[in-house]
Amino acid sequence: MRGSRWVLLAAVSLSVAASRGYAQGRVANPMTKSHASPEFGLNDDHYVRIGATEFLPDNSQTSYDSTWNPGDPFGYSYRRFWSGLGYPHFLAWVHAPGGALLDYVELDDCDNNATYALTLNVYACNGVGECDQTPVTTITTEDGCGGDSATLDPQTIDNLHGEYMLEVVFPGEVADNSLQIAGAVIGWKYQVSPAPNAATFNDVPTTHPFFQFIEALAASGITAGCQTNPPLYCPNAALTRAQMAAFLSRALGLYWGGY
């Protein structure tokens, strides 16, 4: 089978897909969200859940709610809540692939307090744990059990030099379990690296409509083009199944060594 190098270019570029405001909303039942299943490609979010027990207090005076709820088909409900002692902040960290766009955050909670609410702050931090004083976004919970969400201006994940912290703040006036953390969800999208200023291949100038994607393949080591001297990509050349195997294996990092 032979086909245009453009065809595989589009597929492989999706595989190697490597910037503050928000819109806040409430999801009534986290178990029936539209994002219950992962999405793929560049257009839709991928979702990662952060469990309640991943939120660590900045002191030891905390407690779990693990009481039986007769109406809960899952039995025990494991949630974090403040015991009424110490400084009521719970912290967790975002885990997402480098180069991805962080654009969604959701706090799943039970807010059964008529006066007070939980606050979720998302902070951008550097590689040594120093966080910005101003959060990327803030969410305040609404009454009932569900998900309170915010759509962020996209933040590019840089795991080498920084990280993002989720901070849940409990009001100091509440010393019971009327406010509980059930967990959190973060959403991110793949993106293709921005195009460089100079061209790698003589036959793919910076003005070429596929310049960004071809440069992404070259920079990631997926292809060195069709000729090295002078460097050419041959964008309109046919593609063999053997070349396709090499492109996809490099793009996906295929390995089956048993580790």
What does the pLDDT read at residue 10? 54
| Residue at 34 is within a domain | yes
**The two three-digit tokens of residue 233, written as one number:** 């990509």
65 and 44 assigned to the same domain: yes
CA distance 232 to 205: 11
Token pair 């060195």 in the structure block, residue: 224
Listed residue (190, 200, 203, 238) closest to 221, CA to CA:
200
Of 171, 189, 207, which marks where a domain is finished?
A: 189
List, in order, residues 6 or more apart from 247 with CB less than 8 Å away: 8, 12, 217, 222, 223
The mean per-residue pLDDT over the stretch 5-28 comes to 50
Residue 252 pLDDT class (50, 70, 90 cuts): confident
Structural domain span for residue 99: 23-189
pLDDT at 188 over 50: yes
Q: Does residue 18 fall inside a structural domain?
A: no
Q: Are residues 81 and 167 both part of a single domain?
A: yes
Q: Residues 22-49: what's their mean pLDDT? A: 62
Q: What is the mean pLDDT of residues 192-214?
A: 95
- Looking at the fold, whether 169 and 197 belong to one and the same domain comes out as no
**pLDDT of residue 20 exceeding 50:** no
Q: What pLDDT is stored for residue 63 in this prediction?
A: 76
Instruction: Give me the phi and psi of 90, to 5 degrees please.
Output: -120, 135
Model confidence over 125-183: pLDDT tens digits? 999 989 999 999 999 999 999 999 999 999 999 999 999 999 999 998 888 889 999 99
Instruction: Please answer whether residues 188 and 45 qualify as being in contact, where contact means their C-beta atoms are separated by less than 8 angstroms.
Output: yes
Q: Residue 81 maps to which CATH number?
A: 2.60.120.260
Is residue 80 predicted with pLDDT exceeding 70? yes
Nearest CA to 63 out of 79, 39, 83, 47 is that of 83
pLDDT digits over 215-249, tens only? 999 999 999 999 999 999 999 999 999 999 999 99
- Give the confidence band of 199 by pLDDT, cuts at 50, 70, 90: very high
Report whether pLDDT(5) > 80: no
Number of domains present in the structure of the chain: 2
The full 3-state SS of the chain, as one line of letters, equals: CCEEHHHHHHHHHHHCCCCCCEEEEEECCHHHCCCCCCCCCCCCCEEEEEEHHHCEECCCCEEEECCECCCCCCCECCEEEECCCCCCEEEEECCCCCCCEEEEEEEEEEECCCCCCCEEEEEEEECCCCECCCCCEEEECCCEEEEEEEEEEEEECCCCCEEEEEEEECCCCCCCCCEEEEEEEEEEECCCCCCCCCCCCCCCCCCCCCHHHHHHHHHCCCCCCCEECCEECCCCCEECHHHHHHHHHHHHCCCCCCC
Work out the pLDDT band at 40, boundaries 50, 70, 90: low
Same domain, 78 and 181: yes
Residue 46, token pair as written in the block: 């991928």
On average, the pLDDT of the chain sits at 84
Looking at the structure, do residues 45 and 103 belong to the same domain, yes or no? yes
What are the Cα distances from residue 144, in Å, to 53, 107, 123, 148? 20, 13, 26, 10
